[in-house]
Chains A and B, each alone.
Chain A
Amino acid sequence: MHAIRVVFGKELIDGRRDRRAVMSAFIFPVMAPILVYGMMTFIINMRHQAQDTAIPMVGLDNAPSFVRWLEEKDVNVTEFKGDPRLAVENKEVELVAVIPNDFGERFAQTRTAVIEIVYDGSRTDAMATVGRFRGLIREYSSEIAALRLIVRGVTPEVMRVVIAEDIDVASKQQRAVAALNFIPLYIILAAFVAGMGIAVDSTAGERERKTLEPLLINPVERHDFVIGKWLAASIFAALGVVLTLILCIVALVQVPLDQIGLNFHITGTQILLMIIAVLPLALLATSMQMLLGIFARSFKDAQSYIGLLTMLPMIPSFFLMLNPVATQVWMYAVPMLGQHLLMVEVLGNKDVPIIAYAYSSLASVVMGLALALITARLFQRENII
Chain B
Amino acid sequence: MIEVSGLAKSFGSVVAVRDVSFSASNGQVTGLLGPNGAGKSTTLRIIYGLLRQDSGTATVDDIDIMAETRRAQRAMGVLPDAHGLYVRLTAREHIAYFGRLHKLPEEKLSARIDELLRLLDMQSIADRRVEGFSQGERTKVCLARALVHDPPNVLLDEPTNGLDVMTTRSVRELIGELRSRGIMVMFSSHMMHEVARLCDQIVIISEGIVVASGTTDEIRDAAREDNLEEAFVKLVERVLETA
Contact B52 A213 (CB under 8 A): no
Asked if B224 is at the interface (CB within 8 A of a chain A CB), the reply is no
Cβ–Cβ < 8 Å partners of B129 in chain A:
17
Contact B145 A217 (CB under 8 A): no
Q: A13-B93, A382-B51 are in contact. Are A218 and B82 (CB under 8 A)?
A: no
Task: Find B84's partner among A6, A14, A212 (CB 8 Å cutoff).
Answer: A212
Contact B85 A217 (CB under 8 A): no
Q: A220-B101, A382-B50 are in contact. Are A213 and B82 (CB under 8 A)?
A: yes
Q: Which of B46-74 contact A (CB under 8 A)?
A: 48-52, 69-71, 73-74
Closest approach, in angstroms, between the C-beta of A20 and any C-beta of chain B? 10
Contact A14 B86 (CB under 8 A): yes
Cβ–Cβ < 8 Å partners of A214 in chain B:
78, 80, 82-84, 98, 142, 145-146
Contact A218 B101 (CB under 8 A): yes
Contact B98 A218 (CB under 8 A): yes
Contact B50 A6 (CB under 8 A): no
Cα–Cα distance between A14 and B97 once the two chains are bound (Å): 11
Contact A218 B73 (CB under 8 A): yes
Cβ–Cβ < 8 Å partners of B52 in chain A:
382
Name A224's closest neighbour in chain B (CB-CB).
B101
Q: A213-B80, A216-B50, A382-B52 are in contact. Are A221 and B88 (CB under 8 A)?
A: no
Asked if B239 is at the interface (CB within 8 A of a chain A CB), the reply is no
Closest approach, in angstroms, between the C-beta of A145 and any C-beta of chain B? 78
Asked if B177 is at the interface (CB within 8 A of a chain A CB), the reply is no
Contact A6 B101 (CB under 8 A): yes
Interface residues on B, range: 20 to 34
Contact B74 A219 (CB under 8 A): yes
Asked if A209 is at the interface (CB within 8 A of a chain B CB), the reply is yes
Closest approach, in angstroms, between the C-beta of B1 and any C-beta of chain A? 18
Asked if A211 is at the interface (CB within 8 A of a chain B CB), the reply is yes
Q: Which of B77-117 contact A (CB under 8 A)?
A: 78, 80-89, 93, 97-98, 100-103
Asked if A18 is at the interface (CB within 8 A of a chain B CB), the reply is yes
Most buried by B among A2, A18, A213: A213
Contact B85 A211 (CB under 8 A): yes
Name B77's closest neighbour in chain A (CB-CB).
A217
Cα–Cα distance between A213 and B81 once the two chains are bound (Å): 8
Asked if A47 is at the interface (CB within 8 A of a chain B CB), the reply is no
A: number of interface residues (CB 8 Å): 24
Q: A3-B101, A14-B88 are in contact. Are A210 and B48 (CB under 8 A)?
A: no
Cβ–Cβ < 8 Å partners of B76 in chain A:
217
Cα–Cα distance between A217 and B74 once the two chains are bound (Å): 9
Name A214's closest neighbour in chain B (CB-CB).
B80
Asked if A10 is at the interface (CB within 8 A of a chain B CB), the reply is yes
Cβ–Cβ < 8 Å partners of B86 in chain A:
10, 14, 209, 211
Name B52's closest neighbour in chain A (CB-CB).
A382
Cβ–Cβ < 8 Å partners of A149 in chain B:
none
Q: A212-B82, A213-B80 are in contact. Are A219 and B87 (CB under 8 A)?
A: no
Cβ–Cβ < 8 Å partners of B81 in chain A:
213
Most buried by A among B52, B78, B93, B97: B97
Contact B82 A219 (CB under 8 A): no
Closest approach, in angstroms, between the C-beta of A9 and any C-beta of chain B? 8
Cβ–Cβ < 8 Å partners of A211 in chain B:
82, 84-86
Cβ–Cβ < 8 Å partners of A35 in chain B:
none
Contact A217 B51 (CB under 8 A): no
Q: A217-B48, A385-B82 are in contact. Are A6 and B145 (CB under 8 A)?
A: no
Task: Find B70's partner among A17, A221, A382 (CB 8 Å cutoff).
Answer: A221
Cα–Cα distance between A212 and B86 once the two chains are bound (Å): 10
Cβ–Cβ < 8 Å partners of B102 in chain A:
218-219
Cα–Cα distance between A3 and B70 once the two chains are bound (Å): 13
Contact A213 B88 (CB under 8 A): no
Contact A209 B98 (CB under 8 A): no
Cα–Cα distance between A385 and B41 once the two chains are bound (Å): 12
Cα–Cα distance between A219 and B50 once the two chains are bound (Å): 11
- Which 4 residue pairs of A and B lie closest in terms of their CB atoms, listed nearest first? A210-B84, A211-B84, A210-B82, A219-B73
Name B residues whose Cβ lies closer than 8 Å to a Cβ of A. Answer: 45, 48-52, 69-71, 73-74, 76, 78, 80-89, 93, 97-98, 100-103, 129, 142, 145-146
Given known contacts A13-B93, A17-B88, A218-B102, what 7 new A-B pairs fall within 8 Å (CB)?
Answer: A209-B85, A209-B86, A210-B82, A211-B82, A212-B84, A213-B82, A214-B82
